């Protein structure tokens, strides 16, 4: 089977990310003697400079790791919680029935920094100054601008010039949109990182890392965030100006945490996801439904495969909408949702016809709350303001940008799967003292009472960010993931099943034409849905589209290379490592030896 590039094979270490510079940086760290945790952290910080339209220092980052020495897997939660002042009553007082998609109000505590630092402290081997040196160099000396960065900046130019003037100072140097291919410098961001390195103190590497974490969350970084958010009236997607709710005290109360992953066994594999504070378990629910179908007998590019997966995902994501939320604040019946008995009944709903309904399951003691009709009606709000939602997959699959992903395996067998995002240049204004904007992940909350994902102080929004890892026969095998908002666990499901049932390699599975459903409610402002909408990558044979339309799908063909930004890395029993990366957008890259 033709692939756009070779699947990288090696025995020393492999890396796959959404940008070639991050992959090169991670490999450089491995060559210097660092492990996968050092390398992934360095890649993560580099992505904040290389893909500022997709993530930033003020963003979010869920991470799954495999510790080879202990033979254990962990989740590092880099998803911050809502400010103490953020309540449905506060938003009602402001006359808002949705959390805005841009500006200061949707900010949560920026969690990516502490997630990377916690991983570096407890599993890495290198100093912060060593792993951040690559990102500092690019911020100080300039990074090559891929075309989508200037395009994102130009789309926001009126907002920057008229309203978010601190962003104009960073993204419109000399008053101009930078040209594609130019070197772009971020001196204020470089200065922020350099000060953290310079002021690190303590008798041990771990103590020095903790001192940097304290500076960020309980020191001068938090103070700068609190000042800006408490004094600026910023235009957001509501069409009005609002001050932020996030304070330095909110920053000080939060820290990244370590959790056990959620696991599901499927055909000799154990798939690991982060908890129900993300959409990740929806992939596991999809597998639980699909376990009763002969996926191996289906053409992986044929209508049976696309239809069956789409209908399973509709059911799984309906449950995501009805039942998922931060488990520290609400009770989520995940054991029931993944049980054989529940999925045997739900599986009966999958027929040879496309469903046009949003059908969460019935669980004793729970009342599912979804409103598909309201989500459809909100489509008209999409034209209200630039920068809204997550810059993700546009209609017909055209990529407007999204998130980032990092996969690393080292010579000791350690693995990292991380999906950093948030703090995009389009979503909120730059904090001038620091040189970067913050996450707007709070837009994923609902404001209506009684929903498991209703806004509450210190609660995590049910994020779309969803890295994956899989064990084969009980041994760490595959790290994988993708950007893409609500499409993340759709594309990952397709990739995984093609590898498991059709023996595709990582690169073959990434290159193969993919698809996504827009049937269920979007996670981003203004929380729209397009019932029964199915977007196929343009390389599917038109006969597949026609067959799906005959089954009742509202199916259309997008551009030829438009679906997914997957990357992955795997470790086989003979010690060989393999990695692949996405060719779409011409940024992703895999490296190894």
Q: Is residue 36 part of a domain?
A: yes
| Rounded Cα gap, residues 102 and 441, in angstroms | 9
Range of the domain at 59: 25-72+83-254+423-444
How many whole angstroms from its chain centre is CA 506?
20
CA neighbours within 13 Å on the CB side: how many for 174? 6
Q: Is residue 295 part of a domain?
A: no
- Secondary structure string (H, E, C) spanning 309-378: HHHHHHHHHHHHHHHCCCCCCCCCCHHHHCCHHHHHHHHCCCCCCCCCCCCCCCCCCCCCCCCHHHHHHH
| Rounded Cα gap, residues 154 and 49, in angstroms | 18
Phi/psi-derived region of residue 183, left when phi > 0, alpha when psi is between -120 and 50, beta in every other case: beta
Phi then psi dihedrals of residue 421, to 5 deg:
-165, -175
The candidate with the shortest Cα–Cα distance to 117, out of 61, 33, 73, 66, is 61
| Rounded Cα gap, residues 102 and 442, in angstroms | 10
Number of domains in the chain: 1
Q: Is residue 105 part of a domain?
A: yes
Long-range contacts for 304-310 (Cβ within 8 Å, ≥24 apart)?
306/515, 306/534, 306/536, 306/540, 306/544, 306/548, 307/352, 307/354, 307/548, 307/551, 307/553, 308/350, 309/493, 309/494, 309/497, 310/354, 310/515, 310/517, 310/519, 310/534, 310/553
Q: Is residue 64 part of a domain?
A: yes
Q: Please, are residues 504 and 296 in contact by the beta-carbon 8 Å criterion?
A: no
Q: Please, are residues 480 and 293 in contact by the beta-carbon 8 Å criterion?
A: no
Q: Is residue 60 part of a domain?
A: yes
Q: 377 Cβ partners below 8 Å, 6+ apart? A: none
Q: Is residue 525 part of a domain?
A: no
Q: Please, are residues 578 and 569 in contact by the beta-carbon 8 Å criterion?
A: yes
Q: Please, are residues 277 and 326 in contact by the beta-carbon 8 Å criterion?
A: yes
| Rounded Cα gap, residues 442 and 565, in angstroms | 24
CA neighbours within 13 Å on the CB side: how many for 557? 14
What pLDDT is recorded for position 540?
A: 98
In 3-state terms, what secondary structure has residue 80? coil
| Rounded Cα gap, residues 489 and 516, in angstroms | 10
CA neighbours within 13 Å on the CB side: how many for 285? 32
Ranges of residues in the chain with a pLDDT under 50 are 389-401
Q: Is residue 593 part of a domain?
A: no
Which two structure tokens, joined as six digits, stand for 496? Answer: 């995984």
CA angle (291, 75, 458) in 5-degree steps: 110
| Rounded Cα gap, residues 236 and 385, in angstroms | 8
Q: What is the pLDDT of residues 315-325, one digit of tens each?
A: 999 999 999 99
The candidate with the shortest Cα–Cα distance to 196, out of 224, 219, 215, is 215
The candidate with the shortest Cα–Cα distance to 356, out of 528, 552, 206, 209, is 552
Q: Is residue 375 part of a domain?
A: no
């Amino acid at each position: 089977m033709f692939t756009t590039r070779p699947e990288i094979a090696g025995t020393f270490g492999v890396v796959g990310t959404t940008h070639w510079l991050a992959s090169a940086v991670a490999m450089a760290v491995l060559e210097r003697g660092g492990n996968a945790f050092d390398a992934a952290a360095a890649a993560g910080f580099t992505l904040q400079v290389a893909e500022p339209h997709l993530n930033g220092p003020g963003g979010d980052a869920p991470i799954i790791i495999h510790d080879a020495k202990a033979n254990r897997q962990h989740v590092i939660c880099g998803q911050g919680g809502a400010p103490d002042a953020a309540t449905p009553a506060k938003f009602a007082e402001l006359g808002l029935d949705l959390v805005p998609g841009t500006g200061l109000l949707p900010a949560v505590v920026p969690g990516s920094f502490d997630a990377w630092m916690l991983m570096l402290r407890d599993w890495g081997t290198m100093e912060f100054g060593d792993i951040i040196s690559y990102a500092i160099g690019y911020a100080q000396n300039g990074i090559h601008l891929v075309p989508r960065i200037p395009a994102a900046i130009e789309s926001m130019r009126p907002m920057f010039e008229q309203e978010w003037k601190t962003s104009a100072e960073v993204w419109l140097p000399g008053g101009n949109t930078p040209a594609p291919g130019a070197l772009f410098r971020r001196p204020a961001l470089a200065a922020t990182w350099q000060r953290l390195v310079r002021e690190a103190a303590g008798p041990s590497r771990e103590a020095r890392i903790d001192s940097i974490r304290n500076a960020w969350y309980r020191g001068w970084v938090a103070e700068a965030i609190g000042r800006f958010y408490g004094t600026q009236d910023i235009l957001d997607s509501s069409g009005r100006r609002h001050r932020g709710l996030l304070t330095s005290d909110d920053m000080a109360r939060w820290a990244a945490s370590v959790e056990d992953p959620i696991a599901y066994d499927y055909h000799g594999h154990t798939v690991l996801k982060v908890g129900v504070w993300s959409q990740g378990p929806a992939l596991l629910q999809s597998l639980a439904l699909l376990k009763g179908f002969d996926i191996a007998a289906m053409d992986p590019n044929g209508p049976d495969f696309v239809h069956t997966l789409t209908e399973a995902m509709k059911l799984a994501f309906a449950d995501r909408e009805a039942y998922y939320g931060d488990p520290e604040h609400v009770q989520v019946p995940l054991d029931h949702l993944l049980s054989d008995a529940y999925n045997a009944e739900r599986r009966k709903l999958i027929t040879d016809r496309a469903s046009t309904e949003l059908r969460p399951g019935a669980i004793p003691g729970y009342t599912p709350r979804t409103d598909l009709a309201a989500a459809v009606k909100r489509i008209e709000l999409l034209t209200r303001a630039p920068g809204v939602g997550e810059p993700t997959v546009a209609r017909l699959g055209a990529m407007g940008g999204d998130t980032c992903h990092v996969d690393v395996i080292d010579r000791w067998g350690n693995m990292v799967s991380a999906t950093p995002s948030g703090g995009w240049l389009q979503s909120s204004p730059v904090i001038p003292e620091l040189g970067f904007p913050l996450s707007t992940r709070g837009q994923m909350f609902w404001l209506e009472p009684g929903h498991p994902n209703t806004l509450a102080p210190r609660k995590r929004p049910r994020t779309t960010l969803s890295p994956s890892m899989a064990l084969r026969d009980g041994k760490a095998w595959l790290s994988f993931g993708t950007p893409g908002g609500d499409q993340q666990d759709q594309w990952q499901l397709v990739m995984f099943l093609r590898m498991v049932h059709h023996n595709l390699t990582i690169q073959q599975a990434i290159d193969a034409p993919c698809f996504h459903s827009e049937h269920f409610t979007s996670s981003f402002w203004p929380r729209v849905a397009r019932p029964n909408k199915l977007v196929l990558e343009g390389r599917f044979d038109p006969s597949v589209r026609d067959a799906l339309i005959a089954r009742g799908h509202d199916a259309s063909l997008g551009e030829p290379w438009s679906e997914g930004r997957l990357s992955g890395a795997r470790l086989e029993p003979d010690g060989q490592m393999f990695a692949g990366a996405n060719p779409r957008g011409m940024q992703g890259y895999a490296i190894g030896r």
